[in-house]
Structure 1
């Protein structure tokens, strides 16, 4: 009896092994065929951009990415220092509200700078697009936001159902 169950387990395992690898290989083939290096992704891929527009947008994004990459080590050091300061505030016997306010102001300033840079990038990209492409981009943004609101509303209803249990 034990020998037959070992053969059954071995047979099932080998069947699953061969069937499990097939979808992965197929997915890799589809992925490989689907995206070519350098193609626009996300909403930009749906705007029928000209080659010139694609090149301009890539340059904008590379410039943004280059700025971020150059400052990465500095940002990591700043985050580590802020984490240490937060930890010191947390572990102190009394809360130093002046130091807490300074940290909050520093964090708010960083968030403000990120917001400004994001809007500047969006503006630069919008200047490359035609009026029709900007309208289509705005429509896709609205649809994405509505989808997010619907998901959030569905999620809240789901949570309420499970609270009573």
Structure 2
């Protein structure tokens, strides 16, 4: 009887706890949606290093146009990129499950992965260069200084160094 009473109380407290979580979920979901909306457009001109450059309205509009063009390009390629990633996952899984490792296929996958990383790098540098063209010489040197200071402190897009030591210690 005592075990039944304890089990009933435990069940009731669990149900009450779940009901409390469920009633709080809409608030959490709306807060999460607001956070996602905040990050949806990428880095804002009003935050980060560009916010410290005293950009004119014309410069802000030009930079925003560059970012929007890149975003549209990414959105247009999204389904193709997703298909490529899924295909690579399947190939990796097939290699992992094989009784012997097919080094030719592995090297082909590694090259494909490296090419994709290279293309992302090229796209990022092209975007940075297009934005730099919009800036004055003083603003470019100021941006370079800001980035150097951030690099020294280990900052990048709001993240810390994640516990990795750059000194090797």
TM-score by length of 2: 0.66
Change over 3 Å in CA distance of 1:56–1:101 after alignment to 2: same
Q: Does 1:111 align with 2:117?
A: yes
Tell me what 1:97 maps to: 103
Partner of 2:66: 60
Aligned match of 2:142? 136
CA RMSD of aligned residues (A): 2.7
- Does structure 1 residue 50 correspond to structure 2 residue 85? no
> Is the contact between residue 40 and residue 54 of structure 1 (CA under 8 Å) also seen in structure 2?
no
Q: Counterparts of 1:148-159 in structure 2 under 5 Å?
A: 148=154, 152=161, 156=165
Residue 40 in structure 1 maps to residue 46 in structure 2? yes
Paired residue for 1:81? 87
Ranges of 4+ aligned residues in structure 1 off by more than 4 Å: 151-156
CA displacement 1:103-135 (0-9 Å, x = unmatched):
011011111111111111111000000011011
Question: In proportion to residue count, which structure has more helix?
Answer: 1
Larger radius of gyration: 1
Instruction: Normalising by structure 1, report the TM-score.
Output: 0.67
Separation in structure 2 between the aligned mates of residue 105 and residue 76 of structure 1, nearest angstrom: 18
| Shift in Å, 1:47 | 0.5
Report what 1:122 is aligned to: 128
